[in-house]
Amino acid sequence: MDMTFNKKYDLVMNPNTPVTVLRKLAKDSSSSHVKNHVAYNRNTPDDVLRDLSKDAEVDVREAVAYNSNTREDLLRDLAKDKSAGVRRAVAWNSKTPLDSLRHLAKDDEVNVRTQVPKNPNTPEDLLRDLAKDEDRNVRFQVAGNLKSSGKILGMILDLEKSLNKPNASIIRALYQHKNLPYVAKIVIETLYSNRVYNE
């Protein structure tokens, strides 16, 4: 396909680009940016996404993982990718199957685990497990999840109270959460009013 980069870019960014053109652009070896955007395009067919999921470029595989039309079986495979960025994108994708979310919730990389509570399909039992995560960024994401129950939020508050220096962002997120029990709000106001109001 003999055309300028700008023309290729315009095509891959267009949601109405025909599948035949996307197939050709997916094989473009002159620019990983073009393949990357083919992988993001919602009209890219399954077989092309499968091929792109094996691309040597991390950005291309990551784009496949972010694509909301990527099939579950492919997301399962990408959840085991060597790149934390790819696994993070899988954790974010709302089509990611539950077994992969459970696997990613135990990932060694914090940036992967922080995405699991952001996924709208993360169940309460997994949020409860993540509420005990050693990393404050993961706990902060659980505290911000609208599906987190009062019990989960109370667990996070108890953990923060046990620390020498509770995290102000987590305390604020808990305090602002609609599911935080009234008694826990009073505890926060009593112990951490400076963190809720002043920081």
Lowest-confidence range among 16-25, 62-71, 95-104, 133-142? 16-25
Residue 197 pLDDT level (bands cut at 50, 70, 90): low
Q: Is the confidence at residue 13, as pLDDT, over 90?
A: no
Does any domain span residue 149? yes
Residue type, 102: R
Instruction: Summarize pLDDT for 53-89 with one digit per residue, the tens.
Output: 999 999 999 999 999 999 999 999 999 999 999 999 9
Does any domain span residue 198? yes
Does any domain span residue 169? yes
Residue type, 152: I
Average pLDDT over residues 33-39: 91
Q: Is the confidence at residue 172, as pLDDT, over 70?
A: yes
What does the pLDDT read at residue 9?
Answer: 78
Q: What is the residue-averaged pLDDT of the chain?
A: 93
Buried b (16+ CB within 10 A) or exposed e, 113-137: bbbbbebeebeeebbbebbebeebe
Q: By 3-state DSSP, what share of the chain in percent is helix, strand and coil, each rounded to 5?
A: 65, 0, 35
Q: Which domain holds residue 189?
A: 131-199
Does any domain span residue 120? no
Does any domain span residue 199? yes
Does any domain span residue 177? yes
Q: Is the confidence at residue 31, as pLDDT, over 80?
A: no
Average pLDDT over residues 178-188: 96
Average pLDDT over residues 11-21: 87
What does the pLDDT read at residue 194?
Answer: 75
Does any domain span residue 13? no
Domain count, the chain: 1
Does any domain span residue 66? no
Average pLDDT over residues 86-107: 98
Write down the residue that tokens 């990408």 correspond to: 78
Residue 195 pLDDT level (bands cut at 50, 70, 90): low
Residue 2 pLDDT level (bands cut at 50, 70, 90): low
